Structure 1
Amino acid sequence: MNQEMKTTDPTPYRMPAEWAPHAATWIAWPHNAEDWPGRFQPIPWVYAEIVRNLALVEDVNILVNDEAAEKRVTRILLRAGANMARLHFHLWRTDRIWLRDSGPIFVKNAANENIITDWKFNAWAKYPNHLNDDRIPQHVSKTQAVQALQPMIGNHRVVLEGGSIDVNGAGTLLTTEECLLSDVQQRNPGISRQQLETCFAEYLGITQTIWLNRGCAGDDTHGHVDDIARFVNESTIMAAVEHNTADENHLPLAENLDRLRALKQFNIVELPMPSPVIFDGERLPASYANFYIANDLVLVPTFNDANDRAALNLIADQFPTRKTVGIHCGDFIWGLGALHCMTQQEPA
């Protein structure tokens, strides 16, 4: 059930954990109202609050479509009280703003230098407009003067989104079968589990891949792991659970929890789910697991739910040296993503 794959030769690359020191966070400013149909108006202000908090602890690189957008965004951020000295704008067109998935995944080489892994982005094998987003890692590579690698299996450029994996920085990776092995929204047709594990070893320094089964209800990506299970240190995983047996998340999350507990080698901390968030008849992928770990800070999505306080306290307990801050995502989640989905860290 749980596949473990050991590499024979040490890889020259290693993907740091999210809690390792950051040089910066990368985000893209929201511009497509169709991503939040009927609820776009508050979204820039949610972004402003996120940026204000991040800029207290690290630099923030912000992608905007053009100079007019940069001026508009600057006015918003000034009104929100953000530390403008730590904000850096880049005029690159984007299709969507989910940089966890379209942005560069940074790794370290043997000399501890940053290298970009530029995986193919095809909009979760679902949307046709993704060419601007697929170019983002190359833009970052040129701007930062950082080497970029395009992971390949044979002559196939591998599709991978950052939200589909989570790592502990010590060679272990979490992912789901639903996202990477299913023939629904299929990323890499004809590519096997073993080939993917070998690819993770080669480009990310992974020696153990933990396969969970399914993601959470309402997930537009078809099974991203960052809504259901996250490393909080090398030996501890926070796993989302739903105790309401009538909820559609109950069984999938219980099965994932069983898989994790069967491993024995990790401490498992249960993280509750919020009550279902429904808008316009649609179940949204609301989850506290979509938190983002920055320097001295953890940003946690909240939903005006009774479980908000419990989730914030549980996450804060795992990060005693960091400030834990809730960001209200009741409107934001209508875009089918939250804090982890919109951010991508650049290691120091």
Structure 2
Amino acid sequence: MIPEAPRPDLPAALGYRLPAEWEPHAATWIAWPHNRDDWPGKFGPIPWVYVEIVRHLSRVERVNILVEGRKARQRAAQQLADGGANLENVHFVKGRTDRVWTRDYAPTFLVNERADADPVALIDWKFNGWAKYKNHRLDDRIPRKLARRLGLRRWKPEVTVGGEPRRLVLEGGAIDTNGRGTLLTTEECLLSPIQARNPGLSREDLERVLADYLGIRQVIWLGRGIAGDDTHGHVDDITRFVGPRTVVTVVEDDPTDLNYEPLQENLERLRSARDQDGQLLEVVPLPMPDPVVFQGQRLPASYANFYIANGLVLVPTFNDPADREALTILASLFSDRQVVGIHCVDLIWGLGALHCMTHEQPAAPVGTREPRAEEAREDPRAVSFSVSGLAEDPPPDPLPRERGAETDSPLPWELSRKHIR
């Protein structure tokens, strides 16, 4: 349990909290696939996997799609129309990205039941390509763009290490919450010297940041993630909240498998873990599929990488006998939602699945007003901000990029449906 009260004037002290994924959404944010190097030799089916995902999501909520430019928008719109998506709920937004994994570089949205003027705000963490890939600067700019587009207050957390200020690095896939003050994460991701996100910060330092900015009162530290995960231990591949005091956690039955021991250790930690009120959790085991291997590489296939939307849960499937068991377990836990399997054997070649490529934008709490676009407000003590240039692409990245990305001529920030042909 984090003992100290949140620091004044930061989000938690102002009444903001990190909501659970099952709370009402205003929209889901995704980025349309464009980087062929993320699925080498297998890019062809990927847009059609996205079509199927958007087809389901657009039935239940708005889907905001980041696109590289006009040509990308036109291709995506045509494919979505061909695939039967509800285009009334699909909105294209100009936003150049390095990759599609919005879970990790999109902002962390907060809600505030007490605030009339600012019921939704966001945290703009630094994104550094999982401390692994150099081409991440376009992705790192997305939170600023979304704050401007949505008219949301934005904080950019900083810490002092060795007397020098440093922005905090945190990816959305590294955390999961019950919305009531308890958060799941892993030591492998946040504390390991390998792919170190925040060198020099201790467990206690990170817990203080999570308390101040996200309203977290209890952090449950798991150990390691699954084999094949290039993020080095994201929790959204292993353990997820499905209710205020209920988690699912993947387990491996084969003692010879690389995942067996770390997942057993996580299971044991969860059985003794307590939430923000000191209560034990209900822990529901979820199976793992057989290893998914392509071109000799073990891929991070996991049923825990599901996405919870309004009235819907999308679950990755892998042509595996355990698909049915995983869907049945999750259907029993989400009795108020339709549980739908999405074939992810191709998608997982990009080293991510459904939760990795989606990011929820929470709805404003009941009784508060929705923010108005172009009203972005920043905490002057936490961020240096300029509104110039946000309606267009930023200047080209001065550093060479490891992987290619389509470019296009500038166009207005939001692309309305009248442009779809």
Q: What's the TM-score once normalised by structure 2's chain length?
A: 0.81
Could you tell me which of 318, 322, 336 is aligned with 1:303?
A: 318
Does the 8 Å contact 1:6/1:208 carry over to 2?
Answer: no
Give the distance between the partners of 2:70 and 2:201, measured in 1 at CA. 42
Aligned residue-pair number: 345
1:7 equivalent to 2:1? Answer: no
Deviations 1:21-47 (A, max 9, x none): 000000000001100001100000000
**CA deviations over 1:35-81 (Å, ceiling 9, x no partner):** 00011000000000000000000000000000111001000000000
The aligned counterpart of 1:58 is: 61
Partner of 2:281: 266
Report how far residue 118 of structure 1 moved: 0.4
- Asked if 1:330 is matched to 2:332, the reply is no
Task: List runs of 5+ in structure 2 lacking aligned partners.
Answer: 7-11, 275-279, 364-421
Corresponding position of 1:81: 84
Instruction: Name segments (4+ residues, structure 1) moved above 6 Å.
Output: none
Name the structure 1 match of 2:47.
Answer: 44
The corresponding residue for 2:166 is 156
Partner of 2:126: 120
- Whether 2:336 is the aligned partner of 1:321: answer yes
Match of 1:294 in 2: 309
Question: Is residue 144 of structure 1 aligned with residue 138 of structure 2?
Answer: no
- The residue identity in structure 1 corresponding to 2:224 is R
Relative to its length, the structure with more helix (as a share) is 1
Given that 1:18 and 1:293 are in contact with CA atoms closer than 8 Å, whether structure 2 keeps it comes out as yes
Q: Which residue of 1 aligns with 2:254?
A: 244
Q: Which amino acid aligns with 1:27?
A: I
Deviations 1:146-205 (A, max 9, x none): 111111223211000000000000000000000000000000011111010000000100
1:189 aligns with 2:199: yes
Shift of 1:277: 0.2
Partner Cα distance (1:96, 1:74) in 2: 19
The letter of the residue matching 2:343 is: H
Task: Give the drift of 1:144.
Answer: 0.5
- SS of the residue 2:135 aligns to: coil
Task: Indicate if the aligned counterparts of 2:220 and 2:273 stay in contact, CA closer than 8 A.
Answer: no
Other-structure match for 1:93:
96
The separation in 2 between residues aligned to 1:80 and 1:338, in whole angstroms, is 20
- Cα distance in 2 for partners of 1:120, 1:144 equals 19
TM-score, normalised relative to structure 1: 0.98
Displacement of 1:6 in angstroms is 3.0
Tell me the distance in 2 between the aligned counterparts of 1:278 and 1:135.
Answer: 33
Cross-structure match for 2:399: none
Question: Secondary structure in 2 aligned to 1:61?
Answer: strand
1:174 aligns with 2:189: no
Please give the secondary structure, in 2, of the residue aligned with 1:11. helix
Partner AA of 1:11 in structure 2: A
Task: Report the Cα distance in structure 1 between the residues aligned to 2:158 and 2:332, rounded to whole angstroms.
Answer: 40
Q: Contact conserved, 1:22 with 1:294, CA < 8 A, in 2?
A: yes
Contact 1:300 1:325 in 2 (8 A): yes
Determine whether 1:257 maps to 2:254: no
For the Cα contact (< 8 Å) 1:99–1:343, is it kept in 2?
Answer: yes
Partner SS state of residue 76, structure 1: helix
CA contact (8 A) 1:48 1:80 kept: yes
Residue by residue over 1:224-254, the C-alpha shift from the partner in whole angstroms, topping out at 9 and shown as x without a partner, is 0000000001100101000110111000000
Whether the 8 Å contact between 2:104 and 2:356 is mirrored in structure 1 is yes
Give distance in 2, aligned partners of 1:196 and 1:204.
11
Percent identical among aligned pairs is: 59
Question: Tell me, which stretches of 5 or more residues in structure 1 are unaligned?
Answer: none
Q: 2:419 corresponds to which residue?
A: none
CA contact (8 A) 2:238 2:302 kept: yes
Instruction: State the Cα distance separating 1:7 from its structure 2 match.
Output: 3.4
In structure 2, how many angstroms separate the alpha carbons of the residues matched to 1:8 and 1:202? 8
Q: 1:212 aligns with which of 211, 222, 230?
A: 222
Shift of 1:262: 1.5
The two structures, once aligned, show a CA RMSD in angstroms of 0.9
- 2:26 aligned with 1:23, yes or no? yes
1:102 aligned partner: 105
Query: More relative contact order in 1 or in 2 (CA 8 Å, sep 6+)?
Result: 2
- Determine the C-alpha separation between the residues in 2 that align with 1:106 and 1:325: 25
Q: Corresponding residue for 2:392?
A: none
> Which amino acid is 1:183 matched to?
P
SS of equivalent residue, structure 1 residue 345: strand
